Amino acid sequence: MASYADFADAATARAILADSGDTWAVVGLSTNTSRAAYGVARVLQRFGKRIVPVHPGAPTVHGEQGYASLADIPFQVDVVDVFVNSSLAGAVADEAVAAGAKAVWFQLGVVDEDAYERTAAAGLRMVMDRCPAIDIPAFFD
């Protein structure tokens, strides 16, 4: 079993941000401006990432068309950024593997060690309990 140091590794976070691609599916992103996903998606855009909202209501957010699920996205996504409860996050990680993503990012407070093990075993980079809106400016500003 991986340790916290493994799944919150700064080097892996940097590699995901720099080398895993620029199309980020943001699972849990809606038009609710008070939710963390809304602001994080804006930061990702500011740093040149294309965001793809994934939410059951499939809203358009920050000018990008939304989709109800990862499976509904008709193009390749590189990174799946997960803003759902930890109890639901493992299923999203499995969907990311099935969709052919290169990496999975579980947001602050989202932890599922079994999902981390499955995702890493499938060959994807993954971090948990981190925020790209905190890391990307620190790494690349």
Say whether 103 sits in a helix, a strand or coil.
strand
Homologous superfamily assigned to 4-140 = NAD(P)-binding Rossmann-like Domain (3.40.50.720)
pLDDT recorded at residue 5:
66
pLDDT recorded at residue 76:
97
Q: Mean of the per-residue pLDDT values for the chain?
A: 94
CA dist., res. 66 & res. 52, Å (int):
6
Rg of the chain, C-alpha, whole Å: 13
Parse the chain into domains and list their residue ranges: 4-140
How confident is the model over 36-62, as a mean pLDDT? 97
How confident is the model over 32-44, as a mean pLDDT? 97
How confident is the model over 77-97, as a mean pLDDT? 97
Instruction: Assess whether pLDDT exceeds 80 at residue 72.
Output: yes
Instruction: Assess whether pLDDT exceeds 80 at residue 141.
Output: no
Supply the DSSP string of 8-61, one letter for each residue.
Answer: T-HHHHHHHHHHS-SEEEEET--S-TTSHHHHHHHHHHHTTPEEEEE-TT---B
State both tokens at 53: 């909202």
Residues in the chain: 141
Specify the higher pLDDT residue, 139 or 5.
139
pTM assigned to the model: 0.94
**Closest Cα partner for 74 from 65, 83, 82?**
65
